[in-house]
Structure 1
Amino acid sequence: MAKITNLSRARKTCAREQDRAKADANAARFGRTKMQKDAEAESAEKLRKHLDQHRNEE
């Protein structure tokens, strides 16, 4: 006997797998870790403070 397959469930499963693969690809291409985001924000803040200290107010 053949195994009975629910087609709507199979389509949903296939769609989930495709979405998961697309999300993984996007995360690898565009994603940054929290540590990287924090380091970038800290660097920007340090640069802003450095520039503010050298501001000429006449």
Structure 2
Amino acid sequence: MADIVNLRHARKQKTRAEKERLAEQNRALHGRSKAERERDRLTADMSEKFVAGHRREKPGEPDDRSIGPKSAQRLSDESDA
């Protein structure tokens, strides 16, 4: 005698299996271990420190030699006389 199969359950089970297969594939492609993430973070931090250490101006320091309309000396009519 044949087993009775509920087609709704079979369809849902097939969908779950497909999602699990796709998830496994994504874990293999995109998953990284904690050590790999930490290594990448440390490399990025070291690169940022290297670049920051070679900047001409330090962040937060006012630039006394800036050129532009706000830094230009104001001339008044009284100084011409």
TM-score normalised by structure 2 residue count = 0.61
Identity %: 34
Mapped to 1, the partners of 2:40 and 2:32 lie a distance apart of: 10
**Of 46-55 and 29-38, the range deviating more from structure 2:** 29-38
- 2:19 aligned partner: 19
What is the aligned residue count?
58
TM-score normalised by structure 1 residue count = 0.79
> Per chain length, whose mean CA-contact separation is higher, i.e. which structure has more relative contact order (CA < 8 Å, sep 6+)?
2
Partner of 1:24, secondary structure, is helix
Partner of 1:47, secondary structure, is helix
Higher share in helix = 1
- 1:34 aligned partner: 34
In the alignment, structure 2 segments of 5+ residues that lack a partner are: 58-62, 64-81
Larger radius of gyration: 2
Shift in Å, 1:4 = 1.1
Task: Quote the RMSD (CA, aligned, Å).
Answer: 1.6
In the alignment, structure 1 segments of 5+ residues that lack a partner are: none
